[in-house]
Chain A
Amino acid sequence: KQEVTQIPAALSVPEGENLVLNCSFTDSAIYNLQWFRQDPGKGLTSLLLIQSSQREQTSGRLNASLDKSSGRSTLYIAASQPGDSATYLCAPGGSGTYKYIFGTGTRLKVLA
């Protein structure tokens, strides 16, 4: 059974800092891993998708890495902005049934 842990649970930083959000998962038999953003009371926005054969993906100020064998993924946010404030969710996509299992998220607050 896949279990996903995200560290830290909450993070409050001044604007402009570079950030590292960590995700670990117990079952390395995954097809891919997605990082999402969730704003309060809203749905999920997909940020990055990393296939199991890839080691990283980049989109703008975001970079996600994947070490499948050790069950870890990291989301880097460069030059953080107040608009980045949200909850960030990691979700490895399992083999077989394709379902995504979510971590509990990192609640990020970027102060102006």
Chain B
Amino acid sequence: NAGVMQNPRHLVRRRGQEARLRCSPMKGHSHVYWYRQLPEEGLKFMVYLQKENIIDESGMPKERFSAEFPKEGPSILRIQQVVRGDSAAYFCASSPPGLQGAEAFFGQGTRLTVV
């Protein structure tokens, strides 16, 4: 059972471009969480999704950021018109369905650099 897979591991984008970050949860997991870690800071919750639904997006910036978790395929975090302040490590986590208090497993992260 492969762990949470994120790709790419490193992504460089010029200001104004779009960044697409992908997360494949562990097999059997239908809950996905995205977190952002700015340099020298802690992990900040961004969004929590279940298959085809956004459950909690209270940590998402109001503009330029969106997330989806389609019925088929990985979860995608999309950042439009990136700016230098978007440079950070973006982590995805997954947990199984229907279990309150289930353990969350994290991917290795995507490190986005905006130049």
Contact A98 B109 (CB under 8 A): no
Q: Is the CB of B42 within 8 A of A100?
A: no
Answer whether residue A71 sits at the interface, using C-beta atoms and an 8 A cutoff. no
Question: Does residue B101 face the partner (Cβ distance < 8 Å to A)?
Answer: yes
Task: Please tell me the number of chain B residues within 8 Å of chain A, measured between CB atoms.
Answer: 25
CA distance in complex: A44, B35 (Å): 11
Chain B 84-115 interface residues, beta-carbon cutoff 8 Å to A: 91, 93, 95, 100-109, 111
Contact present for B101 and A43 (CB under 8 Å): no
Find out whether the CB atom of B55 lies under 8 angstroms from the CB atom of A44.
no
Distance between B21 CB and nearest chain A CB, rounded to angstroms: 14
A25 within 8 A of B: no
Q: Which residues of A contact B103 (CB under 8 A)?
A: 32, 34, 46, 49
- The listed residue (B55, B93, B105) touching A97 by CB distance below 8 A is B55
16 pairs from A and B in contact (CB 8 Å cutoff): A34-B103, A34-B104, A36-B106, A44-B91, A45-B106, A46-B105, A99-B45, A99-B48, A99-B56, A100-B93, A101-B45, A102-B42, A102-B44, A104-B41, A104-B42, A105-B42
Interface residues of A, Cβ cutoff 8 Å to B: 31-32, 34, 36, 41-46, 49, 51-52, 89, 91, 93, 97-105
